Chain A
Amino acid sequence: MRLPRGRLRKSRVVTDPRDTLADVLDRELTGYAVFESQDSLLLDAEGRGVVTFEAGIPVVAYHTGSDRGGPPALADLAVPGPYHVSVFELDADELAPVHDADDLRVPPVMPAERLAGDPALADSTRRGAPADRRPTESDGDDHSAVAAFLDDTEKIEAIQRQAREEAAQRATEWGFSDT
């Protein structure tokens, strides 16, 4: 997926992609956000996830590391965080060629619902979606991004390994191992 470079509007580190999705929705931004994991411990740290927006509503998702688009790309960009996120503004007509690629498109509420796990943000996104993309009831039941995430055994094992190490380290800090 090739995108013309947009005008950088924000560049920051966030712990959760939710923050960016909410911010973009608030600003009704047309453009794209680039998510880059800051955690080199995780295998999928390589590559960047890109989500495009029209008036704050997600349109397509793509991951440069896996070269996958659509719902699986949301799974690829999901890491425990933190992320470095850059948000770019780009005119709708410059996004049009990318937005025409059906295999890259995601249901408008899927990033909020499945990647951020935030039903309130999903509702706001649903309300803000244009009539021709207004999600139907069943769109909310699309679990393909979650299924793709669960198919990534290496990533899940990395998350487990990281949590195990963290638990062991904190057990010592918190005195759970010597009381």
Chain B
Amino acid sequence: MVEVFAVASGKGGTGKTTSTVALGMALAQRYDVTVVDADTGMANLLFHAGLSDVETTLHDVLADKVAVTEAAYERFGMTVVPCGTSLEGFRDSDPTRLREVVATLAADTDVILLDSPPALDSRAAVLPVVMADRAVVVLQPTIPAISDGLKVQEYATSYDTGIAGLLFNKVRDEDSIDEVVTKTERYFEGPTLGSVPESDCAREARRAGRPLLAHAPDCPAAEAYRSVAASLSVREGESDDVADRFRSAVIPERP
């Protein structure tokens, strides 16, 4: 079985990478999880997963220099495919090869999480959302974050990508956000998976180059991520089907 999720937000700064890694670690308790840094122009997953020193990354795979297995690292109970940060690496990589990468990874894992670029303004930025089965939309309780989340949903559903749910991140007061959560849900096709409190732990974990769930597993934000992961129902898809779909990149034409 395999299901591919894009962890997406239209806006930067919502804590998308922290969320991707945290969900990956929490889901790894139940599934074989692979996390991919699909933000090939502004990669930072490597800094969250203690992989800032690795030499081979997704850039090399997308440049057709190495097989994806060479850029896949076993860390924190999951498989992590980091992307490099050099301009040269970005220039030489072909983001459309991501389809082949995901197809290859799909053969041997249960859940793939694509840390997606916080933008919708280019082919490469939209590709992870196009390829995923469903998107987890990361929001903050601000007007631009919710507006951009709505746009992510429209892009996703335009390509028949479902909405797995909403994750409110960096929430300062759990009680006062209820009204916003309820009102936001009306416009989204997926449920609210949970809200994660703003936390110094997340910043400290990032500075330490470790996932939040490894660095401070008992902090409220880590608890919240585990709860979000528990409410995310992973659907069973046939690995072969997913691989075929990505390879052929059958993307429905919309009216």
| A contact set with B: CB distance below 8 Å | 16, 74-75, 78, 80, 113-119, 138, 140-143, 145-147, 149-151, 156, 159-160, 163-164, 166-168, 170-171, 174-179
Contact = CB atoms under 8 A, between A and B. Distances in A.
Contact of A115 (B143, B170, B176, B253): B143
Contact of B172 (A141, A147, A163): A141
Contacts of B217: none
B143 to A, nearest CB: 5
Interface in B108-142: 120, 123, 126, 130, 140-142
A40 B62 CA distance: 41
Contact of A143 (B13, B179, B253): B179
B144 A160 contact: no
Given A163-B155, A174-B123, 6 more contacts: A74-B143, A141-B173, A143-B177, A150-B187, A171-B251, A174-B126
Nearest to A175: B123
B199 interface: no
Contacts of B251: 171, 176-177, 179
Given A160-B150, A176-B251, A145 B143 contact: yes
A143 B180 contact: yes
A101 to B, nearest CB: 23
B254 interface: yes
Interface secondary structure of A, over-half rule: helix
Contact of A150 (B151, B155, B172, B183): B183
Interface in B221-250: 249
14 contacts: A114-B141, A117-B11, A117-B144, A119-B13, A141-B173, A141-B176, A142-B176, A143-B179, A159-B147, A167-B155, A168-B158, A168-B254, A171-B253, A177-B252
